[in-house]
Each structure stands twice: as structure tokens, then as C-alpha cells.
Structure 1
Amino acid sequence: MSIKVKQDKVNAILRSLQGMERKQVMIGVPSDTSDRRDPTQPITNAEIAYIQDNGSPANNIPARPFMRPGMDDAAPRAAVQMKKGITGVLDGDHAAGERALDAAGIVASSAVKNVINSGNFTPLADSTLAARAARGRAGAQEELDRRDAGHAPGTDLAKPLVDTGQLRNSITYVVRSTED
């Protein structure tokens, strides 16, 4: 019995796999989506994300971690996407690796946004709620009234990290070469 090679695709497969290996998916607020719509805002979405994620004791802002919990939640689903990409490359679909990197980025950035949307954070301060209520934000005054009635602070009426939605909407992904 002899084996006849009709077409040698080993080098192309190796190039595709090496291409995937030289790239990374980064989740967060890229510089091109970092600016706020309101030009009077003194800081960017990236700076707000950092402050909210890590807290600022000097400014009495508690840490409300959302990046790492979102990425940790997404890791198993992102791994499935990467496995599909590698399997596709091994089956001869050389674009499967790029699609997998994009799919993993979508999974992870969506998971970070889901953590923000959950609102499971330290409740907002009364002063923050008052400022939101003065701007007409839904739920802020109702939460203040609830607290005045003796109820414990909650996050269901006025979610931390979600005021205008600009921070949440700026969370995305980029695929970058590790050689840059």
C-alpha cells in the first residue's frame, strides 16, 4: 500500500496557526472609542473604566470591578471559539483563525457589558443619586425616596456604572499582533 500526496497543505496550515499564535484579543476601551460625547467631560471612558473598576479612595469611589469578572465569565466560551478556529485551520479553512479571534472578542466584550448591566455593585451614594435625579435619570429619585423610608440601599432602581450608557457602550475588543 502506498500513499500519494495530492496537495501538501502542511505549510499553509502551520502559517495559519502561527498567525493565530502571534495575535491577542484585547478587551476594554480602545483609544478611538474613549472620548465622551459631552466635550465638557474632563476625562475619557477609558479613565472612567479604570477608576470604576479599581475605585478611588481619594475621591470616595468604591471599586466596582467589571472587567476581570466579565472576562473570567467569558473564558470558557471564548476557549470554545478558539478551539473552533484551530479545528477549522486544521481542516484547511485558513480564515477560521481570524474568525475565531473575532468571535472570542465578541464573547468577552459582551460578558463585560453583562457584568455592568447586572448592577451587582456597591450601591450609589446619596449624593450621586441626587445628581442623577437632578438630571432626570429614571429611578434615582425613587431610590432616594426608598432610602428615606428606611429601606437598605439597592441597585435595582439606579444601577452603578450605568448613567448615560457611554461607558458600557465603549467596551469592545481589538485583535492585535503581538509583534506591534
Structure 2
Amino acid sequence: MDRTNEVKKSLEALARKQVLIGIPDGSDRPEEKGQPITNAQLLYAHTHGIRQKSMREEMNPKVESGEMTYSQAYQMWLQTHGSPLWHSPPRPVLEPAIEHHKDEIAMQLRRVLDVALNGGDPEPELHKAGMMGQNFARDWFTNSANGWPQNSPRTVEKKGSDKPLIDTGELRKAITYVIEG
């Protein structure tokens, strides 16, 4: 029995799918002054670090005039917490965690392709790939390979922990996956 057309359709459908790892940004939530930032915004800030005061002072007039768009929640958070006395170095999570485990993820994605080539439903294998990425990213918070700088003594004293980015665990738990397409 020739199943070439079925396999071709399955592969075409698979080519439109993406497994995305991260934190949904909650973009349906309106940004209002005084509202806490989302976990997606918080992870972004920790990935890229907190802007220095001179950079914020240069950017603020552009943002306020509308010349430059910038998340209001992120801007508020930087102004509230971003003084030179409270410096936060970048601590990226998603990209380095995925890169560190790229061989394992590639093997799972090969399984996805094998299932599709054999005429099966690749969706369960895509979910396994997503779950792997989610778990690798969540593990990155405590993985010694992350290379993150230690918390400053002041931060350790203030939060009572020497674990960077871990207070309640909510940021880590917010990392998930979705399959689109």
C-alpha cells in the first residue's frame, strides 16, 4: 500500500509546528502603573541584566516622548529596582539551558520525524520534546553549568538565600512549553 501522500501531508503539517519553551507573556493583561511585572518580564530582565543608571537616564526621555517603545511594567521595575546600588548581572536561562542539552533535544526531535515518516502521529513526541525543554530550563536555575555570578552579600542578607533567581520558585515554575502551528 502506497502511503506517500499521507506521509507527505504529515511532514507538511509537522513543518508548520513549533515547540516553544519559555513563559507566556500574559500580553492580554493590561499594563498599569503599580501592577507587578509578569514572570515573563522578570525572566527577560534577569536574562539581559538591569540597565545602568546612565542608560536609563538616556532612554527615559525617548520612552516618555514616544520616540522609543518600552514596556511600561519593565520601565517601572527598572526605575524602582535598578539603582547603581542594586546591580543585577545577567543570568540567562532559556537559551543556555537549551544549548547545553541540544544533543538530547535533537535526539527527541529525530523521534518526532521518525514517527511522522512511519505514518504515525508525531504530536505526542512533540509534547515530549517540549517537556524536555521545559525541564531543562527549570533545572538550569540550580545547574552548576549555568555559570551565574553569586548573589551579593547584601542580596543574601536581604532575601536570606544565596541561590540566584530563586525566592519562591514561582519564576522557575512559570517556565512551560507550547506547541504552535
TM-score, with normalisation over the residues of structure 2?
Answer: 0.71
Q: 8 Å contact 1:74–1:111 — kept in the other structure?
A: yes
Q: 8 Å contact 1:27–1:105 — kept in the other structure?
A: yes
Stretches of structure 2 that go unaligned for 5 or more consecutive residues are: 53-81
Distance 1:125 1:41, change over 3 A: farther
Q: Which amino acid aligns with 1:103?
A: K
* Alpha-carbon distance in structure 1 between the residues aligned to 2:2 and 2:98: 39
Residue 54 of structure 1 pairs with residue 48 of structure 2: yes
Displacement of 1:125 in angstroms is 2.1
Residue 180 (structure 2) aligned to one of 151, 172, 176: 176
Q: Which residue of 2 aligns with 1:116?
A: 141
* Alpha-carbon distance in structure 2 between the residues aligned to 1:13 and 1:68: 32
Q: Which residue of 1 aligns with 2:9?
A: 15
Q: 8 Å contact 1:78–1:103 — kept in the other structure?
A: no
Stretch moving more, 121-130 or 166-175: 121-130
* Alpha-carbon distance in structure 2 between the residues aligned to 1:75 and 1:24: 16
Distance 1:27 1:121, change over 3 A: same
Matches within 5 A, 1:138-149: 140=161
> Displaced runs of 4+ in structure 1, greater than 4 A?
none
Q: 8 Å contact 1:74–1:107 — kept in the other structure?
A: no
Q: Which amino acid aligns with 1:100?
A: E
Displacement of 1:41 in angstroms is 6.6
Displacement of 1:170 in angstroms is 0.5
Q: Larger Cα Rg: Structure 1 or Structure 2?
A: 1
Residue 98 of structure 1 pairs with residue 92 of structure 2: no
Pairwise CA RMSD: 2.3
Q: Which amino acid aligns with 1:129?
A: V
| 1:36-55 CA distance string (max 9 Å, x none) | xxxx8711100110011110
Q: 8 Å contact 2:10–2:119 — kept in the other structure?
A: no
Q: Secondary structure at the match of 1:175?
A: strand
Displacement of 1:105 in angstroms is 1.1
Q: 8 Å contact 2:25–2:41 — kept in the other structure?
A: no
Identical columns (%) = 31
Displacement of 1:123 in angstroms is 1.2
